[in-house]
Structure 1
């Protein structure tokens, strides 16, 4: 796929990898501090040309040659032995063990130079997995559905990680070539075409990136750059990435440039940093702070770029706002707390991490809606009474991304069940009505809009040497759950390596038109249209500490927000199985109700699992 030469070129210059030079030829650079000798191997068909690279200071090897150009395939030979791909490869056409390909980013002429992004408060995020979003499983198939997402009310598409992973299918969190979009989904140009098409429709595009580990297959860094890792810190995947020890400078640069590369060369609108609680860095500033500051310095005020965290530690200081209300580092965090509280309310489950919410889910939900995090330094039973979180009430509600489903909360279940399989319609409708109109930016997981009943199980496609370990490890994850105590019960857990497991996750787009699913699609559209018309315009200048809450009868909840324009937004909800009578009606007009007939009197009677929203536009003038 090519583009017109009349558009804007975008190229991010990096200290490593393959870079085409203005005067012709290609400069190749590899950081290999443990190697004595490195050769550049240019591959043409069955032939391989070896060129000795020049050793430089600090473990660098470099070679400039006119024998390579756009499309050339290459790899490196370490100490006259192992052949390895380029860790900064822009494309791996033959997967993680094959040669890298020189890509000229200037060959794509962008046509979206007028796109400057969208304000964060307008975010309605749609998370999707490229490979299972459609039967085609590629970027082009997403592009074909963009108008459908706009019609739904989405303003941002968030791609699960696309960095090159081993095999034909993977969630994306086992990526090993972080600069190379996986070839299963298309070429780099296809991803750029998707981003450009999204921008033409007013859609932001975010990418999930993984900076806490490399996948277990295809990572050759241990052979020539073991300084990438440190035994001083450990993670669930083994030795941690070396962000704070000796030789960490170039490690940090590798990941910082990765963030800059995606944002610049692919014109993305933001990044979601996966599981940063597994990044261990004792330096000052730590890598998360430095990365955010470098992004800000690099782009300045050219356009709106949004950095989002997933952080089990609930470290609110990364979300700090400046005096003018702008994020100093990260605009928001995925708020697992609100998901967990709602999940317990809807399902009654209390095992695993849900045990922290099971005794009192409603107060946890109340705190999330009014203060952001439910855990702000309290002891977590799930974490063996360790304190979790930092104070967050001073932050605006827009600093917390809310969701009822995402890839983790669905896929980390043994069978990948969606929430519809775990609760009933009235509870689900109440939860959706609560989340989609609350000030916090909502996130939908692909297929949620029509209440897809398809599971999203964990799947992967590793080589034979890892396959058995992956299957065994997946089933052992659930051994401590009573229903999976017996080995025979664990055998029922889907084999993540099986193609049939992956096929379960491929969305059936025809189902959205069926009588069972059409009402849910209509509900999502109705609620998101209300959000765009009535809530989003009032979120600019929203501040923290602007909500008051109360609960009653163990199931009633009221939250009152003061919005950025001074208007008042009130939520009244009955999240229980019995009716609640004689409640005072909030001031303002009724915005939405799951049970309209219950809202007509001054003293409200709320049926079980009902939600009412009121908007008082005159509050700021009183």
Structure 2
């Protein structure tokens, strides 16, 4: 490929390329030696030279030395030279074709806080326990390198390079291979809508990468009308899928991937990424606040469904601030909509919202929606990072969690949720100087209109904020109870719900509200039906649960928080 970014090996040696369409002079500095680069008509500069793995290099653009924006490995931080690498040898890799999407039970984790060590090697040691619970997929928060050691990963500036605090490329290879040996898919969270505030040298190399006439919450929008820009992100995805054998990607905030060329880019992205290894199942998830069907009708498996989360959260906590406003008026009624159609907001007028959001998506299969009752976003974007168990009646949280696991949508668990964790997940970063102070002030300002979250915001730059967010792995009676619930619910899902999903939907779902806080739902599939009864606080539910329930939580019919579910073969 003549439009490739970064370094590639060929019969003549190692070829380095970068897009710098407005530069007057570009050269490669390899282990201190300068090599002039030739400009192509499309704005790419290239040079082919002898090299070996481990060589360090920089691009010299109009006199300024910068690391490779498509660096696969850094010699240090984001300002350091990039390192020449060779692709992994596939000879030792075990066969793996992936898993059917209907089997997905996703576990979202942040590598730095998932274990005390915060490394890939330590995380790999926990995977067998997760697989034993019935979890089938790991979704890793972004690992493209950013400035500093600590961070969520959404401010990356070198999206091809593994963040070094987590380990080496070899550690990531071993992590993925071990996950596959346990039957676990590995999905990577990829951020294509912006770059972080420090170390994004693309602004110098290729100002045309950005469209200054359009802005996102993080600065100038990325210009997806440029072929070189589209290639940058597609090749990044191909790198993670091909080099590390990831099973899929979760694409962050695609509602910010807009402007001329954006829709064509998203279509091409799905086609090209799946073509990396046609023999493997590759899955693509989007975070899309628009509640639109377009992407799921054009090659993407599913979208994060915040609507479901918001209805559950508002019912259990009573909160109504900020983005919860439109879901706080009738959360149980909204939950009925979510269970029947997937999304709640489908373009209809709603109290608490000035402008309608979304479009009809009820025709999409249940597997087109990734549901959750906790995520890094919804926990971490609270001032104090509280989990749901710290905010609501534990009996209600237990019923909602069981609903998540047995309903016929793709469930996603946030790390620690499976064991009833109450450790916070806070926002943390690792900057210095004026940038650190700007992050502190910006974080505090975010909560000015969210009174219920409190006024005190922990210092996101403090190492203690990061340490507080690490999971507590203590073996307690409470943790064992939650683990047992997780195991039983996921066993029911694997035995009864997944076969129905694979058989295909035969008719629209039927969801009836029973009184103030109870509902009954039936989903129809070619292989049979799934029936569910749920109470979220109704003292005397008006509906008796199925007498032949295959899975239940709570004292069904007596406890105001209860769930019962069963299947009926066709």
TM-score by length of 1: 0.88
More off after superposition, 443-452 vs 474-483: 474-483
How far the C-alpha of 1:293 sits from its partner, in A, is 2.4
Tell me which of 81, 85, 97 is aligned to 2:67.
Answer: 85
The corresponding residue for 1:36 is 24
Answer whether contact 1:556 1:574 (CA < 8 A) is retained. yes
Whether the 8 Å contact between 1:337 and 1:375 is mirrored in structure 2 is: yes
1:273 aligns with 2:251: yes
In structure 2, the partner of 1:236 is 217
The equivalent residue for 2:284 is 307
Q: Are the aligned partners of 1:415 and 1:457 in contact in 2 as well (CA < 8 Å)?
A: yes
2:83 pairs with one of 92, 101, 107: 101
How far 1:28 sits from its partner (Å)? 0.8
Shift in Å at residue 286 of structure 1?
3.0
Q: Does 1:612 align with 2:561?
A: no
1:534 to 496, 504, 509: 496
> Would the alpha carbon gap of residues 584 and 415 (structure 1) be closer, same or farther in structure 2, given more than 3 Å must change?
closer
Per the alignment, residue 548 of structure 2 pairs with 589
| Post-superposition offset of 1:425 | 1.6
Query: How far, CA to CA, are the matches of 2:457 and 2:262 in structure 1?
Result: 44
Cα offset, 1:564, TM superposition: 4.0
CA distance in 1, matches of 2:553, 2:38: 70
Q: Which residue is equivalent to 2:48?
A: 64
Tell me how far apart the structure 2 counterparts of residues 13 and 192 of structure 1 sit (CA, whole Å).
28
Answer yes or no: is 1:480 the counterpart of 2:449.
yes
Give the conservation status (yes or no) of the 8 Å contact 1:13–1:19: no
Query: Does the CA-based 8 Å contact 1:92-1:182 persist in structure 2?
Result: no
Q: How far apart in 2 are the matches of 1:243 and 1:273?
A: 15
State how far apart, in whole Å, the 2-side matches of 1:544 and 1:497 are: 52
Is there any run of 5+ residues in structure 1 with no aligned partner, and where? Answer: 1-11, 321-327, 599-604
Provide Cα deviations, 1:122-168, integer angstroms capped at 9, x if missing partner.
Answer: 00111100111112111111111111111121100110000011101
CA contact (8 A) 1:156 1:205 kept: yes
Q: Counterparts in 2 of 1:215-364, with a 5 A limit? A: 215-244=196-225, 248-283=226-261, 285-300=263-278, 302-320=279-297, 328-364=298-334
Distance in 1 (alpha carbons) for counterparts of 2:486 and 2:494: 12
Would you say the 8 A contact 2:384–2:426 is kept in 1?
Answer: yes
Report the aligned-residue RMSD: 1.8
User: Does the 8 Å contact 1:20/1:70 carry over to 2?
Assistant: no
Q: Which residue of 2 aligns with 1:54?
A: 38
Secondary structure in 2 matching 1:518 = helix
Q: Is the 8 A contact 2:399 2:554 kept in 1?
A: no
Structure 1 position 408 matched with structure 2 position 377: yes
Q: Secondary structure at the match of 1:354?
A: helix
Query: CA-to-partner distance for each residue in 1:60-106, whole Å, 9 max, x for gaps?
Result: 1111111x2111111111112x2100001001230111110111014
Q: Does 1:73 align with 2:56?
A: yes
| Alpha-carbon distance in structure 1 between the residues aligned to 2:327 and 2:181 | 42
8 Å contact kept, 1:212–1:275: yes
- Aligned-residue offset at 1:542: 2.2
What is the distance in 2 between the residues matched to 1:544 and 1:278? 35
The corresponding residue for 2:5 is 16
TM-score (norm 2): 0.96
Q: How many residues align?
A: 570
1:408-444, Cα deviation, whole Å (9 max, x unpaired) = 0100000100111001221111111211111111111
Q: 1:437 maps to which residue?
A: 406
Once the 2 structures are TM-superposed, how far is the Cα of residue 592 of structure 1 from its aligned partner?
Answer: 1.5
* Aligned-partner SS, 1:87: coil
Query: What is aligned with 2:354?
Result: 385
Q: Please state how far the C-alpha of 1:606 moved relative to its aligned partner.
A: 5.1
| 1:438-587 equivalent positions in 2, closer than 5 A | 438-482=407-451, 490=455, 492-509=456-473, 511=474, 513-543=475-505, 545-565=507-527, 567-581=528-542, 583=543, 586=546
Give 2:386's aligned residue: 417
Alpha-carbon shift at residue 394 of structure 1 (Å): 0.8
Alignment of 1:359-374 (within 5 A): 359-374=329-344
Is residue 2:63 matched to residue 1:111? no
Counterpart CA distance in 2 for 1:423 and 1:345 is: 9
- Distance in 1 separating the partners of 2:261 and 2:47: 33
2:383 and 2:105 mapped to 1: Cα distance? 28
The answer to whether the 8 Å contact 1:395/1:544 transfers is: no
Alpha-carbon distance between aligned partners in 2 of 1:481 and 1:140, rounded to the nearest angstrom: 39
Counterpart of 1:161 (choices 136, 142, 160) is: 142
Partners of 1:125 and 1:157 within 8 A in 2: yes
